[in-house]
Chain A
Amino acid sequence: MSFSPPWSGTNLPVFEPQPSRPAPRQTVGMIGWLRSNLFNGWFNSLLTLIALGFLWRIVPHLLSWAIFDAVWTGGPNACPPGYQGACWIFIFDKFRVLMLGLYPGDYLWRPILAGGIFFALAAVTVFHLLNPKKLIALWFLLTLPVYWLIAGGLGLTAVDQSLWGGLMLSLGLATIGVLISLPLGILLALGRRSNFAVIRAICVGVIELIRGVPLITILFMASVMMPLFLPVGLNINNLLRVQIGIILFSAAYMAEVVRGGLQAIPLEQYDAAKSLGLNYWKTSALIVLPQALRHVMPSLIGRCIALFKDTSLVIIVGLLDFLGMVKASAQDPEWLGHDAEAYVFCALVFWIICFTMSRYGHSLEHQKKEE
């Protein structure tokens, strides 16, 4: 006789957990997203409704102005005064002037080739196709042939600087401004941390003076005051003077960014360099600066963006850069009343260039974090 408990049979009920019920419909999927992101609470719902109302008022107008009602083909007569859409043929008509200024038509291939080199180099930079050292060397080296293509000389017909203008001039002023002001800024930053009181005082004075005043006053100084400083009989043309002003202005800001990087270098690095017998310049060039510059690369890109935007101020001292050409085109009597198109196009170009640079800065920051 054996005793078997009633539960020892083979058909013992096994505890089977029920599958969990799906989350309430209100918290998942489209509805859940809407509820948690747009309608969580009465205040957010109100904000969402206001924002939607705002978009409802603005976006259709904007789209019909910029695309559906816009004039894309035809001559100046295609958009009568008071027409409700954008007149993009105005931009097409002015495109060459906006990009290259009054550059003579016979030599158009030269700035176009130069622009090709420039944007190719920019693409190589943005997509991280080369290591930083080669990249920097390339930027410095390629500036010369690009300048030669645009300015002429040495076998090419010289093109007077008064004919340069448009986006070409803006990019040129900004690029040369960055390339020269960065080394200058590094020197100023090193000087500001120098052990020599006199050099420190001079560097602090220069940096703080320039950073304390608006770019316009520096440009006025370059344009109006600099001729008075030069020996009688020596003349530097306005473009070069303005470029010098931009370089000095940018150098002061670069110096402050670089100084931030220098301050982040631990003192042990200096001690280590000293114990290896490296002198000041070797320590700076081989140990300190490479680390410091890599550290502040994103901020330096930020300075490049700011400088590129700032070049638009040269219009005030009479140069016709991109914005200058845009403004001049908007005042062309043949095409009156198209300010909006002109400025929107200008904003779009500036935005694309600056936004690309700022994304590049972000990507450098990510690289740094991953290391």
Chain B
Amino acid sequence: MNILSRILKGGRLAGLVIQFVVVAGSVYFGYLLFRNTQANLEARNIASGFGFFSVEAGFPINSALLPYTPADTYGYAFFIGILNTLYVAFLGIIATTFIGIIIGVARVSSNWLVAKLAEIYVETLRNVPLLLILFFTYSVVLGTLPGPHVSLSPFFGCFINNRGLYLPKPLFQNHFGFVLLALALGVIIAVMVWRWSLSYQDRTGVAIPSGWIGSGVIIGLPVTTYFVMGRPLSWEIAVLKGFNFQGGLVLRPEFSALMIGLVLYTAAFVGENVRSGIQSVDVGQLDAAKSFGVSKGIIMRRIVLPQAFRVIIPATTNDYTSLVKNSSLAVAIGYPDMVSIGGTIIGQNDQAIEIIGLWMAVYLAINLVISIIMNWINSKAQLVEC
């Protein structure tokens, strides 16, 4: 029996040979890419490596979370971009969760009109591209807002015009830290009360309104501290000076459009997860609970939601990661996220490989963190079978 026929017949040896061929092929392919890239970079006079990170960037960034000037380095500019991406992702996920839950609950509402409206919302937003929604929000919804002199002002201190959304800016004075400390303490106490009330109910069957006590502590403690400390918070309100508003907290239209588009779009998907989660709960269980005389609210909190979460969480993890990835569409409407700033850098020094590699690394890292957190939550929500 010669070797060739043994390989063709399959088995251990064949496996080893095939894997060896694949590895050798991949390595050779990688080597070819590397050699081509070297030759191309040389032919085009493009530097390689991250040396450019300490070179002065020279371009402005219109919304930065940290102080930034064009005199700062490329590395710092890219860092500002990463911060913006994280900022959008963080706020986006929180807002999407709220709106998604509302949409999902509305979808299964017994109110026909509300259910229909939610269905129209979901079916409309899910079937158009996100980029289109972003363009629409940016140029039609926000683009047609009035100029600074005729700003809309829905409540005192808030101004909406085509330069952005102006809100009162909180100015923290000394001792404001104590208020935050009180808030943290309140949360800890609320969690402890909640845990204790659960075990108390298990032992005695008497329910304690831990929700009310908890919210009371969470709100009450910081508010009391705030007044005891002599109200260490004031607000700076935007004022119209010349052609534009000065001061205050400004949300630029690019940011607003990105947030509105991302959140409304992703909420449609999260809403569908919530709906299918709620509908996955066996109707027999609801009937059983009703026949015991359990109230509607407790049925929802203690019977429907815990089971629905098992269906909702895995699907929603995917939607969260796609929200983070989709935040890269910021580049299309000019919000300076990581991709947008990276694109500017590529345009200036052609070092595409380094920048694209960094993009991928950062997105992979963010998605990894989201997956870890969500898997942890998921493991808490899954059925513990005894």
Contact = CB atoms under 8 A, between A and B. Distances in A.
A213 B364 contact: yes
B198 to A, nearest CB: 28
Interface stretch (A134-142, A152-160, A181-189, A219-227): A219-227
Given A196-B18, A339-B140, A351-B124, A51 B114 contact: yes
Interface string B7-49: 0001000010011001100100000010011011101000000
A209 B367 CA distance: 11
A37 interface: yes
Contact of A220 (B117, B325, B352): B352
A232 B111 contact: no
Contact of B353 (A209, A212, A215, A228): A228
Contact of B139 (A196, A215, A309, A330): A330
B363 interface: yes
Contacts of B363: 212-214, 217
Given A196-B19, A213-B359, A350-B132, A37 B112 contact: yes
A25 to B, nearest CB: 20
A229 interface: yes
A230 interface: yes
A243 B39 CA distance: 25
A365 interface: no
B127 A44 contact: no
B332 A316 contact: yes
B360 A232 contact: no
A355 B127 contact: yes
Nearest to A216: B328
Nearest to B296: A41
A216 to B, nearest CB: 5
A198 interface: yes
B8 to A, nearest CB: 10
A350 B135 CA distance: 14
Interface in B122-180: 123-124, 126-132, 135-136, 139-140, 143
Interface in B310-332: 321, 325-326, 328-329, 331-332
Interface in A289-331: 305, 309-310, 312-313, 315-316, 323, 327, 330
A216 B343 CA distance: 11
Interface string A8-34: 000000000000000000000000000
A64 interface: no
Contacts, number: 157
A229 B36 contact: yes
Interface in A171-212: 195-199, 202, 209, 212
B110 A217 contact: no
A323 B135 contact: yes
Overall SS of chain B's interface: helix
Contact of B332 (A305, A310, A315, A340): A315
A90 to B, nearest CB: 14
B339 A224 contact: no
A224 B110 contact: no
A279 B130 contact: no
Given A224-B352, A309-B130, A350-B128, A343 B140 contact: yes
B381 interface: no
B127 A350 contact: yes
A197 B19 contact: yes
A38 B112 contact: yes
B356 interface: yes
A343 B138 CA distance: 11
Contacts of B109: 44, 47
B113 interface: yes
Nearest to B364: A212
A358 interface: yes
Interface of B: 10, 15, 18-19, 22-23, 26, 33, 36-37, 39-41, 43, 109-114, 117, 123-124, 126-132, 135-136, 139-140, 143, 321, 325-326, 328-329, 331-332, 339, 343, 346, 352-353, 356, 359-360, 363-364, 367-368
Given A38-B111, A355-B123, 4 more contacts: A228-B41, A312-B131, A316-B332, A358-B126
| Closest CB pairs A-B (n = 5) | A354-B127, A214-B325, A37-B112, A309-B129, A312-B129
11 contacts: A37-B110, A38-B112, A209-B360, A215-B325, A220-B359, A228-B36, A231-B39, A343-B140, A350-B132, A351-B124, A351-B127
